[in-house]
Amino acid sequence: MSDTLREFSNDLSAAVEKGGASTILVDARKRYPASGIAFADDLVLTADHVVTKEDIKVGLPDGKTLSATVAGRDPGSDLALLRLAEKALSPAKTSDDVKVGQLVLALGRPNNAGMQASWGIVTAISGPTRTFRGGLLDEYLQTETTPYPGFSGGPLVNTEGEVLGLNTSGLTRGSSLTIPVKVAWRIAEALEKHGSVKRGYLGVRTQPVEIPEAARQALQREQGGLLVGDILVAISGQPVGDPDDLFAALNSETVGKAIAVEVLRGGRPESVNVTVGERK
């Protein structure tokens, strides 16, 4: 083996070792265990779909096993936060510097035998996208790594062993994707604080419609929107061009608050205030 290949191999091994220091075994379902990431010294972030029983055990990198409880969960983003009985973790070192073509490793600790890993490149950075679990991801990563059984909830790391995101097969049918750190950590912070992620709700059905040119000019906006009896074209000054725009606008910050909604009513632009409810 050439020195270059040997150095490359050693660098990958070192990245797995560094990332593995914050990769946790999560035994929270009847089938084989899954993985998780040390979010804080007593908190583990994992995939929500792998947490299906109350008797939760986590396996630490040093081989120790601890009990855990659910601190919060958000099925829409397939994330769950587990709280340990004691402070025993080394929180993950993270990075949000991700590029298409970047070499990455998917890590998992699905059994007591130790770490498992696969490697590849980042093939796409996409989003926002609606998930079949009823959520909306601002951004997600696609990679060529192999999602072996038990990898859900585990980290995607760079060649420095820094966590770039959380891998899950629970948001798409038949494939795996990665929730970037900047998205996953924001949701985890909400789960730690509130136990859930609030999402706004207007209590209306929607469908895309085309707004006539004359009405567009009256609105002085380039984007049209949604038929809700009235035609919804903007929320809090932001244009609504499709259902995902509406979904994204009704975030946790809007719940319980009155917001300005611009509509076309009988072909005439009007502004009304509505109070945002919470989607159950």
CB 108 within 8 A of CB 118: no
CB 56 within 8 A of CB 70: yes
User: Which residue is catalytic, options 22, 48, 49, 74?
Assistant: 49
Q: Is 49 a catalytic residue?
A: yes
How far is 208 from 48, CA to CA, in rounded Å?
32
User: Which residue is catalytic, options 22, 35, 152, 176?
Assistant: 152
How far is 39 from 25, CA to CA, in rounded Å?
14
Q: What are phi and psi of 65, to 5 degrees?
A: -115, 130
31: CB partners within 8 A, 6+ apart: none
User: Which residue is catalytic, options 27, 48, 74, 78?
Assistant: 78
Q: Is 22 a catalytic residue?
A: no
Q: Is 152 a catalytic residue?
A: yes
Q: How far is CA 197 from CA 223, 252, 268, in A?
A: 29, 7, 36
Q: How far is CA 17 from CA 7, 12, 14, 126, in A?
A: 15, 9, 5, 29
The catalytic site residues sit at: 49, 78, 152
